[in-house]
Structure 1
Amino acid sequence: CISPEGLAAFRAFLKSEFSEENVEFWLACEDFKKTKSSTKIALKARKIYSDFIQADAPKEINIDFHTKNDISQKISEPTLSCFDAAQSSIYSLMAKDSFPRFLRSDVYKELLQKHQDRNQKRWLPFL
């Protein structure tokens, strides 16, 4: 369960680092995987592809050529798992790089102060 307040703080931190596309992509993929209608699967897949994957996308994420190429080949007939490798890569990047820096940031320290009495694990966005 992702806390809206924790997520908002993490997004604000990523925005300050010019890397908010990572969490936006991850969230778009989470939403995409819940899609039931085949028509909506195709529409959402194309939207994710055009927003985050294709060359010069407005929110282009940094993924390896093989993963990008694999998605490009499958986008004409997308499945609910077509972004899994890219999502996993971006999650790993955030978990190993962005999130540890977030935990040392003023944004996080302010959030901690607001919630001193709460169980921290309950509202951390990715733990």
Structure 2
Amino acid sequence: MCKGLSYLPSSCLEKAKGMRVKLSHLAETHHKHKVQDGKTPQDLESLLNNKTGLEVFRGFLQSEFSEENLEFWLACEDYRVSPSNLQRTKADGIYSQFINPDAPQEVNLDAETREGLLSVMDSPCVDTFNKAQQRIYNLMAKDSFPRFLRSSHCMEAIWDF
């Protein structure tokens, strides 16, 4: 049985209030500035850098069976900060999980980007996935993120806090 908000520590309540304000601001900004010069608002970055916001966004994508773009973006972020002795292993994992045409979570990349990745997989470096990651980020910013802001996931997250 739910005991209500009074049983939560005050630090949790303060964090929840802050998240509510941020998500409300994202939704408000999106609705005021849906498309500006053909671009969507760049608040996706703020969402991806917020642990709670990221989890709400992930839940939304999972409900649409389209979380592969977010998972790829996160894998690339992890790859970028990995020690050089682990880059080869992580690069192979990213390629087999997201890039390979038979990948279980294949992301939608154009042929040029996909072929470019294949050509450098023998000697991956820290920026191997930068172009592909940016393309997927842009896809999320133009497609998934605006849908998320209009979704019940976003609205529930705003009002649950």
Q: TM-score range by the shorter chain?
A: 0.7 to 0.9
Q: Which residue in 2 is equivalent to 1:22?
A: 69
1:74 aligns with 2:115: no
Structure 1 residues without counterparts, runs of 5 or longer = 116-127
TM-score by length of 1: 0.86
Letter in 1 for 2:66: S
Equivalent residue for 1:12? 59
How many angstroms apart in 2 are the aligned matches of 1:10 and 1:53?
Answer: 22
Q: Which deviates further from its counterpart, 88-97 or 2-11?
A: 2-11
| Aligned positions, number | 114
User: In the alignment, which of 86, 90, 108 is matched to residue 136 of structure 2?
Assistant: 90
RMSD in angstroms over aligned alpha carbons? Answer: 1.0
More RCO (CA 8 Å, sep 6+): 1
Distance 1:11 1:86 in 2: 20
Show structure 1 runs of 4+ deviating over 2 A.
none
Displacement of 1:114 in angstroms is: 2.3
In terms of Rg, which structure is larger?
2
- Mapped to 2, the partners of 1:76 and 1:14 lie a distance apart of 32
Q: TM-score, normalised by structure 2?
A: 0.68
TM-superposed CA distance for 1:35, in Å, is 1.3
Number of the residue aligned with 1:3 = 50
